[in-house]
């Protein structure tokens, strides 16, 4: 950001906070505090990043005031011509950025995007013959037996996705999630020795289960995926291949993942968030082949309500940023920094799931330190290092306490961190983990939640972090009075 833009941003945000404070000063103060906290912390949550001032400002406009259910040119409300323009631009940028045949930019989140995709697949698979029947008999003449047959068709649908402890996401068929209730679901895991995907085992599972939907993608798998192989598996069993690339969309957009590692040429439907490694606003997106486009286009009213027009506008700005050459350099640095972080841990004797990484995240198994993931997460937060606990394969501590912490490089890469800084980050994390002990329960046993961090460690880590953070300021030149 140039000095002139920094000054403009500083002035704009300061004035905006004055307006907010005139109505509810506590919100203005919380906003200032959030920026201060983010500036002073090592943000290593793999699903977080820093959006540009342009993206952030785009969300704060009067597009927030518009209702616009429907699609471009086919709205259920009048006066949506400017929303049509915004949505068209966002979809155009998305198609060009990812090389997709079709883009749907209305989903409010990644979960919404996945729901749109799931229902679109069901509609595409079932509605074809059912629309023919309805047209032949008139929909009002369909009998109870006809509808029962349809319900049976929907109820028997099957989904095969990556298990949560192997690195999959809640929405990939996890039983407590809506995706695990919509479908008869089973899950594939990773090799128990290496932690890596075994495509032969995935294929065998698919042949046995015969899913309607094969879901690929991950939220905590530190390796790349061969989507050409996943498409071969899907085609063999007649499944629709759906890829959730929410975590690594920035690496796809930045051409770090190409060929068989790029899901867009291989999947029928691809979903994503628009923040995380993509550095846009919080939201979702669905990419699809032309074959699935008509079903996806009915995301509203099938799943969604009114689209968030101000967020669609911010998506357009973020996609435009991601189409610049500088974003490719950023994406490559994200991947390079993840390798530097992993190497930093390995040289210090820390256990990593799969033994390293070749994407944007690192999954640390903290068991050797005698800690649960929850204890490690809390101790690191006390020292100013923001992470999140995460399950490891076959995790003995379950999904709440966990045995791991997940770390990502997108946010600190945005701040300008490189190899040396990430090696230092690994050293700081090991310093905290090595000096943390489990707490005790009221009954005197060992706690899975409480912890004791040795005196002086938090201050030492915060001081060393501050040296790096001061060299790479967040939103430089932006001062909030």
**pLDDT of residue 282 exceeding 90:** yes
Q: Domains in the chain: how many in total?
A: 2
Residues 344 and 295 placed together within one structural domain of the fold: no
Interval 324-363: pLDDT, tens: 999 999 999 999 999 999 999 999 999 999 999 999 999 9
- Residue 360 in any domain: the answer is yes
Which two three-digit tokens encode residue 139? 């929909």
Residues 300 and 348 placed together within one structural domain of the fold: no
For residue 217, give its domain range. Answer: 64-322
What is the band of 127 on the pLDDT scale with cuts at 50, 70, 90? low
Residues 422 and 454 placed together within one structural domain of the fold: yes
Using a pLDDT cut of 70, give the percent of the chain over it.
93
- Residue 398 in any domain: the answer is yes
Residues 295 and 385 placed together within one structural domain of the fold: no
- Among 163-172, 236-245, 394-403, which is the least confidently predicted range? 163-172
What is the band of 130 on the pLDDT scale with cuts at 50, 70, 90? low
Question: For position 446, which CATH number holds?
Answer: 3.90.1150.10
Residues 307 and 398 placed together within one structural domain of the fold: no
Task: Mention every residue, 6+ apart, whose C-beta is less than 8 A from residue 432.
Answer: 376, 379, 380, 383, 385, 453, 457, 458, 461
Residues 280 and 335 placed together within one structural domain of the fold: no
- Locus of tokens 């701040």: 415
Task: Mention every residue, 6+ apart, whose C-beta is less than 8 A from residue 149.
Answer: none
What residues pair up with 446 in beta bridges, in sequence order?
440
C-alpha span between 127 and 288 (Å, rounded): 18
- Which one is predicted more confidently, 129 or 258? 258
Interval 426-460: pLDDT, tens: 999 999 999 999 998 888 788 999 999 999 999 99
Last residue of a domain, one of 322, 339, 356: 322
Which two three-digit tokens encode residue 130? 């059912």
Question: Could you give phi then psi for residue 386, rounded to 5 degrees?
Answer: -95, 115
Question: For position 187, which CATH number holds?
Answer: 3.40.640.10
Last residue of a domain, one of 322, 338, 356: 322
Interval 301-312: pLDDT, tens: 888 889 999 999
- Residue 479 in any domain: the answer is no
Q: What is the largest CA-CA distance in the chain?
A: 78
- Residue 481 in any domain: the answer is no
Residues 155 and 186 placed together within one structural domain of the fold: yes
Residues 195 and 275 placed together within one structural domain of the fold: yes
Residues 317 and 298 placed together within one structural domain of the fold: yes
Interval 13-22: pLDDT, tens: 888 989 999 9
- Residue 106 in any domain: the answer is yes
What is the band of 8 on the pLDDT scale with cuts at 50, 70, 90? confident
**pLDDT of residue 126 exceeding 90:** no
Last residue of a domain, one of 322, 342, 365: 322
- Residue 33 in any domain: the answer is no
CB 49 within 8 A of CB 275: yes
- Residue 293 in any domain: the answer is yes
pTM for the full predicted model? 0.92
Residues 151 and 297 placed together within one structural domain of the fold: yes
- Residue 141 in any domain: the answer is yes
């Amino acid at each position: 950001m140039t000095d002139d833009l920094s000054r403009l941003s500083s002035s704009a945000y300061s004035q905006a906070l004055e307006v907010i404070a005139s109505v509810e000063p506590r919100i203005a103060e919380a906003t200032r505090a959030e920026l201060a906290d983010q500036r002073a912390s090592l943000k290593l949550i793999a699903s977080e990043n820093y959006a540009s001032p342009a993206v952030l400002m785009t969300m704060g406009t009067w597009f927030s005031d518009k209702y616009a259910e429907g699609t471009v040119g086919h709205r259920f409300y009048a006066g949506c011509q400017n929303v049509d323009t915004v949505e068209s631009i966002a979809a155009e940028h998305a198609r060009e950025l990812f090389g997709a045949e079709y883009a749907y930019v209305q989903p409010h989140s990644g979960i919404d995007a996945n729901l749109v995709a799931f229902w679109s697949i069901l509609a595409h698979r079932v509605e074809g013959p059912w629309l023919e029947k309805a047209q032949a008999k008139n929909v009002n003449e369909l009998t109870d037996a006809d509808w029962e047959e349809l319900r049976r068709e929907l109820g028997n649908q099957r989904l095969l996705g990556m298990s949560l402890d192997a690195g999959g996401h809640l929405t990939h068929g996890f039983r407590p999630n809506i995706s695990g209730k919509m479908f008869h679901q089973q899950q594939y895991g990773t090799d128990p020795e290496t932690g890596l995907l075994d495509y032969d085992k995935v294929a065998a599972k698919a042949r046995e289960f015969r899913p309607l939907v094969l879901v690929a993608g991950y939220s905590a798998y530190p390796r790349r995926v061969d989507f050409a192989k996943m498409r071969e598996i899907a085609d063999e069993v007649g499944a629709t291949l759906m890829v959730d690339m929410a975590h690594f969309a920035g690496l796809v957009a930045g051409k770090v993942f190409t060929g068989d590692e790029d899901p867009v040429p291989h999947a029928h439907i691809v979903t994503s968030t628009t923040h995380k490694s993509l550095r846009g606003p919080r939201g979702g997106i669905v990419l699809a082949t032309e074959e699935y486009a008509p079903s996806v286009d009915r995301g509203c009213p099938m799943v969604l309500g009114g689209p968030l027009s101000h967020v669609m506008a911010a998506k357009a700005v973020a996609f435009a940023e991601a189409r610049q050459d500088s974003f490719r350099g950023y994406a490559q640095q994200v991947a390079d920094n993840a390798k530097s972080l992993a190497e930093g841990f390995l040289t210090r004797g820390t256990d990593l799931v799969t033994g390293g990484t070749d994407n944007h995240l690192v999954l640390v198994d903290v068991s050797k330190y005698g800690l649960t993931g929850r204890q490690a997460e809390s101790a690191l937060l006390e020292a100013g290092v923001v992470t999140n606990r995460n399950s490891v394969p076959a995790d003995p501590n379950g999904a709440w306490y966990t045995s791991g912490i997940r770390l990502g490089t997108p946010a600190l890469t945005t701040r300008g961190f490189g190899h040396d800084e990430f090696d230092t980050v690994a050293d700081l994390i090991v310093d905290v983990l090595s000096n943390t002990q489990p707490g005790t329960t009221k009954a005197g046993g060992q706690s899975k939640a409480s912890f004791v961090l040795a005196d002086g460690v938090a201050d030492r880590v915060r001081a060393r972090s501050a040296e790096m953070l001061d060299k790479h300021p967040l939103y430089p030149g932006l001062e909030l009075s």
